[in-house]
Structure 1
């Protein structure tokens, strides 16, 4: 892998993925709405170019696509990692709140896959959608978030089938409880209860998720597409 686009790159899992891909020699276009302006960072092996970005904006995807095409020519991988988590029960969810989560988590993933497909060369590439165990089972207390992650599973399957003839592979990763700021948005009571449900009896580290994502984004996974990978310490067994 030479060039990759990564969304939600400012912290947590995204920052771990950016660091690992760059350490493996990739040029990473790291996107996040938390970034300001454009910055570039050279690592010992690769390179990270960071810029502010709204994944739910079609105009922003057009802008970054033009920049990537002009500067790099193509990309080899896309990692759709950007997500927001607003824990609101079903009966308390508003239309505006639901649309905000859907815009980032689901529409952002759709726009990213569409842009990536146009930027990948004839020999193809890889798309990795970072989903959640909240998309594998009923997840009380976060209706919009869980709904968006279930939707991404279907989007991954359809895109994998339709893009296979272009040798573009599309897979999904389902992290469980990961030690990131997003997890901290749960109440302490919920977090204690959820952690106790993990057979390995601990939270995942962001770098553990990053290693799986990096494998799926690499040529080493060239015969894997339309698949889902759960990395949750056994929580969904």
Structure 2
């Protein structure tokens, strides 16, 4: 039986997106989007592949989303591409910066704005949760990643202001370091530095992050629009 709400998860194959999609208490049909051609996630009603570096693919994917079938859309963007430190050798690899900014900020922004445009044209209610990172405040040795995550805060504020008279609520969530595939790809030294910069002296648990994102997506008041919410154990340096 089709539900009234459609939860659209960008980056559904990542740790956060996958845990969110597999939550037992989500009262919505789920559409997952990621770069892979197929998915093993059985909780999805729909799955679409999208390369967030490709503008044409982004447009094509947006067109395939069945927005008209639902009264409300909940969009959670978990897009995240992380690389090694930009200055990890005598060679400055600028291509990594361009690619990180393209995926984490430009492609994500393009997708969200394009989807909102399509939904608003049909007078459909929307709530968008943009998951960023504590890197927006503390920076990152992957310079492109740090730039992109700071830019997502600006996207939240600008979209909320621009769409204040429309049926759209835009909220940002910035996690600190938490248990994830991405975190495992970071050197132990960098992980330990991030953990030590928290007040609680540990990584976040994936359940803590997912439960918070679900609250913001489904239960938080509309008056939170334009807010940037941190769940980082005190990681501010």
Q: TM-score under structure 2 normalisation?
A: 0.86
Aligned to 1:116: 115
Q: Which runs of 5+ in 2 are unaligned?
A: none
Name the residue aligned to 1:28: 30
Aligned length: 230
**Cα 1:41–1:72 shift into 2, 3 Å:** farther
TM-fit CA distance, 1:75: 5.1
State which of 48, 57, 60 in structure 1 corresponds to 2:57. 60
Post-superposition, which runs of at least 4 consecutive aligned residues in structure 1 deviate over 4 A? 90-93
Determine if contact 1:93/1:143 at 8 Å carries over to the other structure.
no
Structure 1: state its 5+ residue gaps. none
2:81 is the alignment partner of 1:78: no
Q: Are the aligned partners of 1:39 and 1:50 in contact in 2 as well (CA < 8 Å)?
A: no
**Equivalent pair of 2:160/2:170 in contact (CA under 8 Å):** yes
Query: How many Å apart are 1:85 and its aligned residue?
Result: 0.6
Rounded to whole Å, the distance in 1 between the matches of 2:151 and 2:172 is: 12
Cα shift at 1:116: 2.5
Distance 1:218 1:89, change over 3 A: same
**Aligned ranges 1:1-237 → 2 under 5 Å:** 2-20=5-23, 23-33=25-35, 35-37=36-38, 41-42=42-43, 47-69=44-66, 72=69, 76-89=73-86, 93-117=92-116, 118-120=118-120, 122=123, 124-139=125-140, 141-218=141-218, 220-236=220-236
Query: CA offset at residue 110 of structure 1?
Result: 0.9
Q: Cα 1:164–1:16, aligned 2, differ >3 Å: closer, same or farther?
A: same
What whole-Å deviation, never above 9, does each CA across 1:147-181 have from its counterpart, x for those lacking one?
A: 11111111111111001111211111110011111
- The CA deviation at 1:234 is 1.7
Q: Which string of whole-angstrom CA distances, capped at 9 and with x for unpartnered residues, describes residues 81-119 of structure 1? A: 111011223585433111110111001221122122122
CA contact (8 A) 1:75 1:116 kept: no
